[in-house]
Amino acid sequence: MKNISKEFVTMNVLNKINEPKDLKNLSLAELTALADEIRQTLIVKVNATGGHFGPNLGFIEPTIAMHYVFNSPEDKFVFDVSHQCYPHKMLTGRKQYFTDPAHYGQISGYTNPQESAHDHFVVGHTSTAPSLAVGLAMARDLKGEKSNIVAVIGDGSLSGGEAFEGLDNAGALKSNIIIVVNDNEMSIAPNHGGLYGNLALLRQTKGKAECNYFKALGFDYVYVDDGNDLASLIAAFKQVKDTTRPTVVHLHTLKGKGCAEAVANKEAFHWIMPGTLDHKPAPAPQETYDSVTVDYMLKKRAEDPSFIVLNPATPGAVALTPDVRAKLGKGFADLGIAEEHAVAASSALAAGGAKPVLAVLSSFIQRTYDQLSQDLALNKNPATILVYWGGISAGDATHLGTFDIPLISNIPNMVYLAPTSKEEYLAMLDWSVNQTQYPVAIRVPFAPISHATRPVEKDYSVLNRYEMAEKGSRVAVIAAGSFFQLGEKVCAELKAKLGINATLINPRYLTGLDEKVLNGLKKDHELVLTLEDGEVNGGFGEKIASFYGNSEMKVLNFGSKKEFTDRVSLDELYARYHLTPELIVKDAAACLKK
């Protein structure tokens, strides 16, 4: 079996490149060799560590050409979403993190000013580059400086509302701003939206079509049909360098270039796991909350033609693979990178009598606060939102899932449910899809499948009823969602270390309080411990603490701090936040002694 991760890559040219100015005197043949060396290095490195694969392979030549023509960091490059920034990092003093396995994993997968003066923003969410570039251009003009401001944005990112807002404003600037559109005919999955018809027309006419989205917004326009041809790219960038007008350079590139598998299956190879190219035997399929959800969706769609699943351009991340989407047929809609639109459309679908389920990642639901509040909750339309990847993780700072509970649980009329098991999750999902009273969000457990040991509730229409899983005294543990199993361990530790038979409560609802249960605890409890897999500030546990504020009850809230963490291990985070049974019980013991 071939092990791509251990292949040797010749780096005759790359070894000479330590900063962008080292490119300036290279011949076209040397630049071409450099592109090949970067491509092979990335294939080996990303296969070893995992990461964004196809987008970076397709943007190597444009990155080389940009650094060859422009003068970074005086000329500023802003990479939208950063899915294509690996070649840029290799050319700006960070190649050792891609060429030397001893340094793998020591830098972010996204642009980061703390790493290099050639990076100007921490960016991991999409559709932001035009807006950021506009701000940089305006700052430059205010100070009377001269430089090129270059935003790189993929065609998939153009469907985001902020991208339009930024482009609309950029097109009205009367100064230098260059938007490089990396058109590889893909988002993560295939593109969706009317805009892409115009991009296709521009490709078909080699940029000569009279109908031109970018010209309509006020941009000068340059088209490069082979966006992976260095000579064409260098000529195009020289043409627009130091322009005094807002300009779009539209590049037609090949996503996954240099890896036949990535070209043939662009969606699956957008981001890969370690060892993907080594073709190791696939592990036996296991039931997950994703697979359980897909099974439910397919069954529900077969039974009810009004049922529809929506997703904003990340279907693979929630197991909505091409075959699942095909089976759902008209019961699936990819709305593009447009989470705000997705929430509003879900609300309107529900108002129109359909049964919409919006599947979205916790990190991306952050963009939708106004739509959750105004379009959905204020109108009390019974849409269902499934929030995936919510919880404390070792992920990048740009993709944390710790903020959704404070965000959603404090909006009036919203019902946010936190299931603790497969059976409870399916019951909540089925109730939400079929009820007509409330907008409902469900936090899909970001954990291995667990099973209920007690009968689960089927009807959640009488809100904020907590489940008393175990009745005890002195200490009550209120453990939400995927932290319910941690709550069980805490109760066992309280028994073993302090001889306390604790009460264990499954709150089920993150958006409200069961005052009857909470008042009942005052009779024979001294301490309440709340456990939530997310930020404590503004979260579920603080509602409990506020409730007991004028009483003798002591409350300790356990969850994450209000902070951005970046690729910190779960073990370290759980120790930092005292989220182990031993540390929780140690804190409880100290509190009981006071």
Whether 22 and 150 share a structural domain? yes
* Boundary of a domain, candidates 249, 265, 281: 265
* CA angle 340–341–342, rounded 5-degree value: 90
Whether residue 332 lies inside any domain: the answer is yes
Collapsed DSSP state (helix, strand, coil) of residue 449: coil
Mean pLDDT, rounded, for 544-549: 98
In the predicted model, is pLDDT for residue 1 greater than 60?
Answer: no
- The number of beta carbons lying within 10 Å of the beta carbon of residue 166 is 25
- The number of beta carbons lying within 10 Å of the beta carbon of residue 451 is 9
Whether residue 270 lies inside any domain: the answer is no
Whether 319 and 236 share a structural domain? no
In the predicted model, is pLDDT for residue 423 greater than 50?
Answer: yes
In the predicted model, is pLDDT for residue 4 greater than 80?
Answer: no
* Boundary of a domain, candidates 428, 443, 458: 443
Q: Give residue 67's pLDDT band: very low, low, confident or very high (50, 70, 90).
A: very high
Omega before 73 within 30 of 0, i.e. cis: yes
Where does residue 97 rank: exposed (0-12), middle (13-18), buried (19+ CB within 10 A)?
buried
pLDDT score, position 144: 97
Whether 64 and 197 share a structural domain? yes
Give tens-digit pLDDT for 104-145.
989 999 999 999 999 999 999 999 999 999 999 999 999 999
Lowest mean pLDDT among 155-159, 247-251, 344-348, 482-486: 155-159
Q: What is the DSSP code (8-state) at residue 460?
A: -
Whether 256 and 342 share a structural domain? no
In the predicted model, is pLDDT for residue 317 greater than 90?
Answer: yes
d(CA 493, CA 488) in angstroms, rounded, equals 9
Residue 230, domain CATH: 3.40.50.970
* 124-147 burial: b if 16+ Cβ within 10 Å, else e: bbbbbbbbbbbebbeebbeeeeeb
Q: What is the DSSP code (8-state) at residue 288?
A: -
Distances (CA, A) of 65 to 24, 27, 151, 330, 391: 10, 12, 14, 43, 41
User: Which tokens hold the place of 419?
Assistant: 């299931």
3-state helix, strand, coil in the chain (%, to 5): 45, 15, 40
d(CA 223, CA 203) in angstroms, rounded, equals 8
Lowest mean pLDDT among 303-307, 416-420, 453-457: 453-457
pLDDT score, position 470: 97
In the predicted model, is pLDDT for residue 187 greater than 90?
Answer: no
**In sequence order, what are the residues at sequence separation of 6 or more whose Cβ sits closer than 8 angstroms to the Cβ of residue 259?**
43, 53, 54, 57, 269, 277
Mean pLDDT, rounded, for 71-90: 96
Alpha helices in 352-498 (DSSP H): 362-365, 369-370, 404-409, 422-434, 484-498
pLDDT score, position 283: 78
Whether residue 456 lies inside any domain: the answer is no
Whether 173 and 233 share a structural domain? yes
In the predicted model, is pLDDT for residue 524 greater than 50?
Answer: yes
Of 465, 476, 457, the C-alpha closest to 515 is 465
182 residue type, one letter: N
d(CA 68, CA 580) in angstroms, rounded, equals 52
pTM exceeds 0.85, yes or no: yes
Q: Give residue 560's pLDDT band: very low, low, confident or very high (50, 70, 90).
A: very high
Q: Compute φ and ψ for 3, nearest 5 degrees.
A: -110, 95
Whether 90 and 198 share a structural domain? yes
Whether residue 551 lies inside any domain: the answer is yes
Whether 71 and 152 share a structural domain? yes
Are 16 and 95 in contact by the 8 Å Cβ rule? The answer is no
Mean pLDDT, rounded, for 545-563: 97
**In sequence order, what are the residues at sequence separation of 6 or more whose Cβ sits closer than 8 angstroms to the Cβ of residue 504?**
468, 469, 470, 472, 476, 477, 479, 487, 488, 491
Collapsed DSSP state (helix, strand, coil) of residue 169: helix
* Boundary of a domain, candidates 265, 299, 316: 265
Task: Domain count for the chain, please give it.
Answer: 3
Whether 393 and 512 share a structural domain? no
DSSP for 36-62, please give it: HHHHHHHHHHHHHH-EE-HHHHTTHHH
Residue numbers of the domain that contains 381: 291-443
Q: Compute φ and ψ for 63, nearest 5 degrees.
A: -65, -45
Residue 506, domain CATH: 3.40.50.920
pLDDT score, position 114: 95
Whether 495 and 418 share a structural domain? no
Whether 258 and 313 share a structural domain? no
Whether residue 451 lies inside any domain: the answer is no
Mean pLDDT, rounded, for 544-555: 97
Mean pLDDT, rounded, for 534-538: 97
Whether residue 273 lies inside any domain: the answer is no
> Which residue shows structure tokens 């959704």?
404
Whether residue 284 lies inside any domain: the answer is no
Whether residue 272 lies inside any domain: the answer is no
pLDDT score, position 189: 82
d(CA 41, CA 45) in angstroms, rounded, equals 6
d(CA 403, CA 191) in angstroms, rounded, equals 28
d(CA 333, CA 339) in angstroms, rounded, equals 13
Report the share of the chain in percent with pLDDT over 70: 99
Whether 117 and 240 share a structural domain? yes
Of 61, 52, 105, the C-alpha closest to 268 is 52
Are 477 and 531 in contact by the 8 Å Cβ rule? The answer is yes
Whether 24 and 143 share a structural domain? yes
DSSP for 109-121, please give it: SS--TTT-TT---
